[in-house]
Structure 1
């Protein structure tokens, strides 16, 4: 429980600093996202971990010029913190956003994550992730209300891709709000 409180405090501090950072960052931070996720969502499989919801926080940075060849992905950092005793994780990677219309868009991310869950055994309330380092992917369908505000239906997945002996992945679904600077 203490590790979850520490993760929540760290993510809250990052969010607070980041909300005040745009003026000082001179365009470094392009977007902040916050959401509520269904932990270990039973939409895709039988849930094994807690049913307590997750809080997701994410910061997106402006795409550096050297990534223009790759459809200008934006570097990102984030965290998904379980509000109970389930697995929480921090992640980093790249995110791509593609407009479908002026209002609708799709979003994809690819990167890595580090979690606080089990790595050597499954229990009645936790999965065995096999190792601490994992891959992290997400996809969202979003709607922009204007140039600064958007809502997204999101799915995120964390697993080790078979790099460790055990590979019980974690899939969360939910809704997120985005504020673009």
Structure 2
């Protein structure tokens, strides 16, 4: 598959029109970055990111694993959650963000990448099996999805996404939506 600007625009538009979670995702992308930066958020806002990461698969992700991750995240002390998110907000790079977030129970690199996207959607994108597969099919990544990816593997995927967003003159959220649709 060859990624082109028109393909990215078309797939991102289809995502907006057809994906059932799009309205709430767009709303959270408008509100969570400022909330996380200011510290003006509650536990449910942080839990929303975990829920979104797993529930966006619309049943394709095993329910028991999803519920386990959500439950384990609830066991984190909320001050530890706030400290991890604050450290991620203040981080200078992806590795530092991921390291801060993965200190939390139930947060691995893919889930941390979701937090990164909702902390700074202009600079970060969530990477999971589908996005990875679409990048690989487009020749942007050479290895199959490492389950889960390491921090350095996430950084590689992130750099590929940033490069593609620059090439296609779009934001990372638009690119993510296109890659998600292409992975379906």
TM-score range, shorter chain: under 0.3
**Which structure has more strand as a fraction of its residues?**
1
What is the TM-score normalised by the length of structure 2? 0.25
**Which structure has more helix as a fraction of its residues?**
2
What is the TM-score normalised by the length of structure 1? 0.26
Larger RCO of the pair (alpha carbons < 8 Å, separation 6+)? 2
